[in-house]
């Protein structure tokens, strides 16, 4: 199995799973079926992007999530769709 990569979340270093089994194990049970589907449907040209997406989802970052939520809200307000 591949060695996990590292990142910083909330001021502490955490492992980022970087294999299909490690990513799957790090996900909540309710997300695993969608992960399996995405992996199984990905072609050669898409698999790296699919893996990167799920690697990041497997390592929650509340601070980054809050920034994304704020940006989505601001964009909706800017477009008048809020």
Distance CA 17, CA 19 (A): 6
Q: Residue 1 above 60 pLDDT?
A: no
* E-only strand ranges, 1-82: 5-9, 12-16
| Predicted pLDDT at 35 | 97
Q: Taking 80 as the threshold, does the pLDDT of residue 34 lie above it?
A: yes
Distance between CA atoms of residues 58 and 77, nearest Å: 30
Q: Which domain holds residue 49?
A: 5-79
Least Cα distance to 60 among 2, 15, 4 occurs for 15
Q: Above 80 in pLDDT, residue 78?
A: yes
Decide if pLDDT at 81 tops 70.
no
Number of domains in the chain: 1
């Amino acid at each position: 199995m591949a060695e996990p990569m590292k990142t910083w979340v909330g001021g502490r270093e955490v492992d980022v799973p970087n294999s299909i089994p490690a990513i799957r194990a790090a996900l909540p049970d309710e997300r695993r079926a969608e992960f399996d589907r995405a992996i199984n449907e990905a072609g050669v040209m898409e698999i790296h992007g699919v893996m990167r997406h799920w690697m990041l989802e497997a390592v929650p970052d509340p601070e980054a999530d809050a920034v994304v939520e704020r940006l989505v809200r601001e964009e909706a307000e800017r477009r008048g769709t809020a």
